[in-house]
Amino acid sequence: MTISLSKKNNNALLWAFLIVIFMLGLSFASVPLYDLFCRVTGYAGTVQRASIAPGSNGQYNNVQIRFDSNISSELNWEFKAPKKEILVQPGVQEIIYYTAKNLSNKPTTGTAVYNVSPPKAGSVFMKVDCFCFIEQTLQPGEEVKMPVSFYVDPSISEDENTKNLKEITLSYTFFSADT
């Protein structure tokens, strides 16, 4: 009887160990899996990625795009969005430029995250290229223009959730990469 009890204890210990290893692996995989889920579904205003705009035949209503820029308090930079909002034709690729300037007396590195609002716009706002999630190192006093290439998917007029969407705000926030 003591042999079977010892075997049961070893089995239980093995299963507990395997569950702990599985949970640890799942915790490391959760961030990329959540990111993939958001990119595929447009959940929480996550914009979609695309390689090229499909073009437009002029049959769609224009969408007004506004730009917003934010910076965290630990990064001594000036970060500006384009001043003017623009009207875009769904399917037509646009390029705009944000500017960043290092106001400190030493090189600093920042990284930007983005989102769009309203959140339902995430499924139709297609980002072709941007400076987001890439560490940007600026020398003291250096100012750079950072391009963002995007388009609004023509499906905006076909989807019940987005067909009345007339305005989208693209927002970037820069954070210090050193902290």
The domain total for the chain is 2
Same domain, 29 and 103: no
Give the bridge partners for 126, in sequence order.
48, 151
The DSSP call for residue 75 is: S
The pLDDT value given to residue 23: 85
Sorted by sequence, the CB contacts under 8 Å of residue 148 that are 6+ apart come out as 95, 96, 97, 98, 127, 129, 130, 131, 170
* Nearest-angstrom CA–CA distance, 53 and 116: 18
Query: Tens of pLDDT along 22-34?
Result: 888 877 777 677 7
Query: Tens of pLDDT along 101-159?
Result: 999 999 999 999 998 999 999 889 998 888 888 899 999 999 999 999 999 999 888 88
Range of the domain at 32: 2-41
Q: Which CATH number fits the domain that encloses residue 87?
A: 2.60.370.10
The pLDDT value given to residue 116: 92
Confidence of residue 163 (pLDDT cuts 50, 70, 90): confident
The pLDDT value given to residue 44: 53
Same domain, 94 and 133: yes
Same domain, 96 and 149: yes
Mean pLDDT, range 30-50, rounded to an integer: 62
Q: Which three-class secondary structure state does DSSP give residue 31?
A: helix
Same domain, 60 and 145: yes
Same domain, 34 and 50: no
What is the residue-averaged pLDDT of the chain? 85
Q: Return the minimum-mean-pLDDT range out of 2-6, 77-81, 90-94.
A: 2-6
Same domain, 28 and 54: no
